[in-house]
Structure formats: C-alpha cells, structure tokens
Amino acid sequence: MLQDLISFLGSPANWSGSDGIPLRIVEQLWYSLLAVAISAVLAVPVGLVLGHTRRGESLVAGIANSVRALPSLGLMTLLVLLLGLGLVPPILALVVLGIPPLLAGSYAGVRNVDASTVDGARAIGMSEFQVLLKAEVPNALPLIVSGLRNASLDVIATATIAAYVNLGGLGRLIFDGMAVYDYGQVATGAVLVTSLALCIDAMLAGLVRAVQPGRRVRGRDSREISLLLRDRAGDAAASAVTSD
C-alpha cells in the first residue's frame, strides 16, 4: 500500500493540471465550505430562536436523530436523479447533512445558558433581541462551534461521495483509481481526505476552546459580563424587595 501511495504521490504529473491533487483538494474544500455555510445560515438562526424561546426541543432532537439514520449516498443519488447532474443536487444533500448538528448545537448552546444570566440581562433592561445577542450567544458559542465542527466533519466526509455523481473533489481520485484498479490513486484519495478531515477537526477543536466564556474575547471577558449580569439581577431583586 505504502509503495503504491508513495509512487502516486511522488509523480509530478499528479500534482498539476485540471486533475491534479491541489485542485482536487480545493474542490473538496469548496463543496464543503459552500454546504456548511448554507447549512449554518439556515440552521443557526432557527436554533438560536428556538433555544431563546425554549420551544421545540423534541423537534430539534428528532431532526438530529433522524438524519443519523438517513443514508447520505441514497439522498445524493436520489437528488441527482430528480434534479439532474451538476453542483446543486450534491450540495443540497450535503446541506441536509449539515443542518442537524448546527441546529442541535445552537439550540443546546442557548438553552443551557444559566437562567440567572438570562434573567440578569433582562433585569438590566435589555430587549429580548439584546438578551439573545449579548448574553446568550456569547455563552452558547462553545456548543455552537461544536455543532459547526460536527457538521463540517460529516460534510467533508460525504463530499467525497459527490465524485460518484460526477463531481470533482478528492473522491475523484478514489473513483477514477477504482475504475482502473490503481490502488495508489485510490489510497492517495483516501489518505488525503483523512488528513483533510483531521486538520479541519483539529482547527475547529481549537476554535471551540478559543470561544469558551472566560477567555478574553475582544477585550472583554464574556464570563465576567455574565457574572456582572447575575450580580445586577441580584441587586435588582433586592431593591424590588426593599422598596415594597
């Protein structure tokens, strides 16, 4: 395996042109980025609002669970048969896969913010929109980014299958290699997809850590803010009691 792999990777012809390795990596990243971005635009606002209103928990859990059972290859081939070849059907399939983790992440993130923090934000006179944006979202970021991480991994892995329905990406190396029994090419595709997934995962894991409340973000410590809000809620409650 290693010999086939090295000889394929070592051949300069495989590193340039319209079917070169760099272009395949860029294609794979492009499909994944496009799909994850669309999923995020669709899923995150819905998750945040549902989390803020504390509604629809069973809906979110249901969507998250049902997509685990949905076979991605089936969805992709079906969409291509129904909508035709091209970029849209496979991307649509990837978007469907990307939505549940992002929805669950943003919902759970907001839903699990300490109630006293939220009450504090309300007590100092924030509007509901401000409560969501200034108190809930900063505290929810780690779970939102975890959702992004899960979605990205699912999408990058499945984007490989897009080559089966005539798209590019690293899956091209796998399917073209299988067609001509060139294990070097197949193994190169598989190893590159794996490396890509591991790199992206490590980057997003770093991001999850970077957005933990308590780290200094933009000069102000978000945990400090939430503690501050909690204290003010206490003050507001105390003054309400004493004024009676």
Site for another protein (CB under 8 A): which residue of 113, 131, 167, 174?
Answer: 174
207 contacts another protein (rule: CB under 8 A): no
Is 113 strand, coil or helix?
Answer: coil
Beta strands in the chain (DSSP E): 216-217, 220-221
- 164 conformational bin, left if phi > 0, alpha if psi -120 to 50, beta if neither: alpha
The radius of gyration of the chain from alpha carbons, rounded to an integer in Å, stands at: 23
Residue 216 phi, psi dihedral angles, 5° rounding: -80, 115
Q: Which is nearer to another protein, 208 or 225 (CB)?
A: 208
Is 221 strand, coil or helix?
Answer: strand
156: CB partners within 8 A, 6+ apart: 28, 32, 193, 196, 197, 200
82 contacts another protein (rule: CB under 8 A): yes
201 contacts another protein (rule: CB under 8 A): yes
78: CB partners within 8 A, 6+ apart: none
Q: Which is nearer to another protein, 123 or 173 (CB)?
A: 173
191 contacts another protein (rule: CB under 8 A): yes
180 contacts another protein (rule: CB under 8 A): no
Give the shortest CB-239-to-another protein separation in angstroms. Answer: 31
Site for another protein in 95-154 (CB under 8 A): 101, 104-105, 107-108, 111-112, 143, 146-147, 149-150, 153
What are residue 216's DSSP bridge partners? 221
Q: Which is nearer to another protein, 89 or 123 (CB)?
A: 89
Residue written as token pair 């993130």:
109
Residue type, position 212, single letter:
Q
Q: Which is nearer to another protein, 43 or 123 (CB)?
A: 43
Q: Which residues contribute to the site for another protein (CB under 8 A)?
A: 1-2, 4-5, 57-58, 60-61, 64-66, 68-75, 77-78, 80-82, 101, 104-105, 107-108, 111-112, 143, 146-147, 149-150, 153, 156-158, 160-161, 164-165, 171, 174-175, 178, 181, 183, 186-187, 189-191, 193-194, 197-198, 201
